[in-house]
Amino acid sequence: MIDPAVDPIGGTTAEAEALDAYSSLVVSVAKQLTPSVASLRLTAGGGRRGSGSGVSVTPDGYLLTSAHVVDGFKAGRAEFIDGSDLAFEVIGSDPLSDLAVIRVRGEVAPAVLGDADRLQVGQLVVAIGNPMGYGGSVTAGVVSGLHRSLSTRQGSASRIVENVIQTDAALNPGNSGGALADGRARLIGINTAVAGMGLGLAVPINATTLKILGSLLQSGRVRRGYLGVAGGRRPLPRALARVLDREAGVEILEVVAGSPAERAGLHVGDIILDLDGRPIQGAGDLQRLMVDEIIGRDLPARIIRGGEYLNLTLTPAELPAR
């Protein structure tokens, strides 16, 4: 006689029901979001080809994808799960966030945007994309880690993308630009990199990303401030840390010739404590201030040089396009 509390293929009925609930959730997310995800095919002169994924974010044809997917391309075709195959053009690209916007001619089903800042480690996520050319592929996993960082580069400029999502949902070449969704089918990330076996990374959908998206939709590019320095976190002496109520500043390791930093009188070895009245304890603090609103503004800076306080005025320029 079979115990009703035991599943015939092994395990308890409760375990089988839990598995069904998990499967049902993944299926629900896939049904809701897959129509918004496109398989991208790109072509350029000389027979150069590329592929990736994209996610529609507006009903009038705008899709979000990865900047490295469209790098060097101006147009291509987007195929959706319903079989529609639409031409698209690249509207704008921001390599320093690894995000880009393309537009197809026609109406599409937009994804519902979520907020990656609300994610928790262990939370279910579903990845949908075009790995190895297999459009509409779905994988599931969990948020393995939060607040990861991803280094990006545009010409001589580099930037750290912050709050990157780490997941064990299987990602493969072609998944880049595809969707990472939560259990309610809300888009919370754009898959960007496979960092190793069982280790995928996604650029988060949050307030910072939405601002970048808005700039790309409006002008096709993202304006950023530029000082022309390279630096790193420098712990402060204990006595000074107590006085300032902070642990570190940013030590200048390089000053680019002819840059705003050089014109302001910054030297290698200086430690920046404050900029525009805001504490600077790491390179990320400095980076977050380099938004378009500060371009051309005179910003007061407090630094330490040779054990003495100095007050300088920095005027960021616009980060030049590559």
**Domain range list for the chain:** 112-208, 225-318
Strands 278-279 and 137-154, bridge-based pairing:
unpaired
What pLDDT does 260 receive? 95
Q: Which residues of the chain have pLDDT under 50?
A: 1-9
Cβ-proximal residues to 144 (8 Å cutoff; 6+ apart), any chain: 121, 166, 167, 168, 199
- Residue closest to 312 by CA, chosen among 268, 261, 269: 261
Architecture of the CATH domain 225-318:
Roll (2.30)
Per-residue pLDDT tens digits for 80-108: 999 999 999 999 999 888 999 999 988 89
Predicted TM-score (pTM) of the model is 0.80
Annotated active-site positions, please? 68, 98, 176
- Residue closest to 289 by CA, chosen among 240, 214, 231, 225: 225
CATH number of this structure's domain 112-208:
2.40.10.10
Cα-only R_g, the chain: 23
Alpha helices in 34-178 (DSSP H): 67-70
